[in-house]
Amino acid sequence: MGRLSLRAGLSWLVGLVLSATLLVNVAVLVLHAGPRIRTEDETMLRLTHELLATALVSLQETADPAPAMRRFYESLGALRHVDIKILANADVASLGKPTPKRRDSVGVPDWFVSLVDAPTRVSILRLGSLPTVLIRGVDDGRIAIVSNPVDELAEIWSDLSWLAFVSFAAALLFFALVLWLVHVSLAPFEDMRRALADLEAGRTNVRVALRGASEFRGISIALNSLAATLDQVKAENRGLMAELFSVQEKERREIARDLHDEAGPCLFSIRAGVVALSEAAAAPTPDLARLRRIGVEMDEASEAMQALVRGLLGRLTPRGLAEFGLAAALAELVASWRSKRPDVFCELVTPHDLSSLEEPVLSAAYRIVQEATTNVFRHSGARRALVAVEFAASDEGDGGSVLAIVVEDDGVGMPDRPGGGGRGLLGMRERAQALGGRMTVENRPSGGARICVWLPVPDVEEEIDENDHRP
């Protein structure tokens, strides 16, 4: 059996509670019906006994009690809740357990009579010395007062029927109202379900209308914020992909230009040397000076070709990163910038042994520093720059370690406009987030910009000294 929905569960719960309430009310009435009828019977028997006794005494004192006795006897049949029977002395013993008169018009079912269990009661009043004519030829009989609970049962059954009908109608009305309220209250769930399905399908600009209870409004606000964040991430990813394709095309064009402008002349020089060597070798007397000159030219062309290939490999893959480690690769990177821009003093600080870093962290750290230093030397207008890469304790409270990267300068700083810094900073942030890290960019109080990146790393064996240099 499948799990019920929230709407069906609430509907069943309300229905069961209303049904249980109705049944409890009916049971309480039925349980109190028996004592109520028995109390009523006892009261009516006592009052009727006293009335008959008083009436008979009064009739015995009259001179001609016959007419009054007839009228009194005829009026006994109009009493409710009791039946009056005049019995001879011989009939008293056969009275047994009397059965009350049943009125077909009351409509009380037998099962209800049996359930209430209200037995009849009998009270015997002796006729004494009344004239025999007054008792229809009975010389010395008794008046039997028999309780008749049928009328009281009819009243209780009528009250119970009306109560059940009214309660059932009220329960149906209340149940319908609850169903409507549940339908209206849970309507935001359907909006959220459709929104989540749209997000799963990859649609953009998905929003949920703010309606319903405050809890639903809070969830809708959070869902809208999530959808907006996903839209922003998708837009950033599209921008990154476009930038990646642009960078790839630019890199390909630069490689093609370098190959055409530098590799082409070198290869042509080598080929020309080979042709000259062939011609010199074919001469009857080889010109040694010319052969040496041709060899020097071919050696220079080969050396230029090797330098070109090393440069291309360095641009495609950091040279020596896997072989010599991050510290050596960063030292070479900083040295290359120093040679290109001697007017900018760049300091590299690596106080810890970085050889234990794994390849993803190595590559990400190098590319982040490479991009950050490119921004410093090309856009900041700085005179001094600092690059610090070291292990530090994580501030997440989990006792882990991070690789902290800080690049700062004394240049013009970051622009104040939102999203300033271009795609380079966005790519650095994406690299950090891909490894579970984070990045902050800020302007220094004394001038210039500071970029801080924290990359999670496995616990390092070397103890991190809190007094180490912190940029």
Q: How confident is the model at residue 241 (pLDDT cuts 50, 70, 90)?
A: confident
Of 314, 389, 374, 311, the C-alpha closest to 344 is 374
User: With left for phi above 0 and alpha for psi between -120 and 50, is residue 145 left, alpha or beta?
Assistant: beta
Alpha-carbon span 46 to 29, nearest angstrom: 25
Q: Is residue 82 part of a domain?
A: yes
Most confident of 141-145, 198-202, 246-250, 444-448: 444-448
Residues 211 and 293 grouped into a single domain: yes
- Identify the pLDDT of residue 309: 80
Most confident of 149-153, 185-189, 292-296, 381-385: 381-385
- Identify the pLDDT of residue 213: 76
Q: Is residue 113 part of a domain?
A: yes
Residue 338 scores a pLDDT above 80? yes
Q: What is the mean pLDDT of the chain?
A: 76
User: Which amino acid does the sequence have at 355?
Assistant: S
Q: Is residue 463 part of a domain?
A: no
Residues 121 and 217 grouped into a single domain: no
Residues 194 and 283 grouped into a single domain: yes
| Mean pLDDT confidence for 218-228 | 87
- pLDDT per position as a tens digit, 38-78: 777 777 777 777 777 777 777 666 666 667 666 766 666 66
Cβ atoms of residues 153 and 118 within 8 Å: yes
**CATH number for the domain that contains residue 341:** 3.30.565.10
- Identify the pLDDT of residue 196: 85
Q: What are phi and psi of 260, to 5 degrees?
A: -70, -45
DSSP string, 199-211: HHTT-SS------
Q: Which residue has better confidence, 228 or 127?
A: 228
Cβ atoms of residues 59 and 72 within 8 Å: yes
| Mean pLDDT confidence for 352-363 | 85
Cβ atoms of residues 61 and 111 within 8 Å: no
Instruction: Give the contacts of 33 (CB within 8 A, at least 6 positions apart).
Output: 116, 118, 153, 156, 160
- Cβ neighbours around 202 below 10 Å, total: 9
- Identify the pLDDT of residue 439: 92
Most confident of 82-86, 237-241, 373-377: 373-377
Q: Is residue 197 part of a domain?
A: yes
Q: How confident is the model at residue 240 (pLDDT cuts 50, 70, 90)?
A: confident
Residue 401 scores a pLDDT above 50? yes
Among 284, 316, 348, which residue terminates a domain?
Answer: 316
Task: Give how far the C-alpha of residue 91 lies from the chain's centroid of Cα atoms, to the nearest Å.
Answer: 83
Residues 264 and 297 grouped into a single domain: yes
Residues 228 and 159 grouped into a single domain: no
Of 112, 102, 99, 120, the C-alpha closest to 31 is 112
Task: Give how far the C-alpha of residue 370 lies from the chain's centroid of Cα atoms, to the nearest Å.
Answer: 42
Q: Is residue 347 part of a domain?
A: yes
DSSP string, 242-289: HHHHHHHHHHHHHHHHHIIIIIHHHHHHHHHHHHHHHHHHHSSS--HH
Residues 173 and 39 grouped into a single domain: yes
Question: What is residue 341's DSSP assignment?
Answer: -
- Identify the pLDDT of residue 390: 92
How many domains does one find in the chain?
3
Look up the pTM and report it: 0.45
Residues 50 and 155 grouped into a single domain: yes
Residues 341 and 272 grouped into a single domain: no
- E-strand stretches of 20-111: 82-88
User: Which amino acid does the sequence have at 209?
Assistant: A
Q: Is residue 295 part of a domain?
A: yes
Residues 294 and 384 grouped into a single domain: no
Q: Which residue has better confidence, 129 or 231?
A: 231
Instruction: Give the contacts of 413 (CB within 8 A, at least 6 positions apart).
Output: 380, 443, 444, 447, 448, 449
| Mean pLDDT confidence for 207-222 | 83
Range of lowest pLDDT (63-72, 417-426, 457-466): 457-466
Alpha-carbon span 308 to 259, nearest angstrom: 8
Among 111, 145, 180, which residue terminates a domain?
Answer: 180
Cβ atoms of residues 448 and 413 within 8 Å: yes
Provide the domain limits for residue 86: 6-180
User: Which amino acid does the sequence have at 51?
Assistant: L
Among 180, 212, 245, which residue terminates a domain?
Answer: 180
Most distant CA atoms of the chain, gap in Å: 190
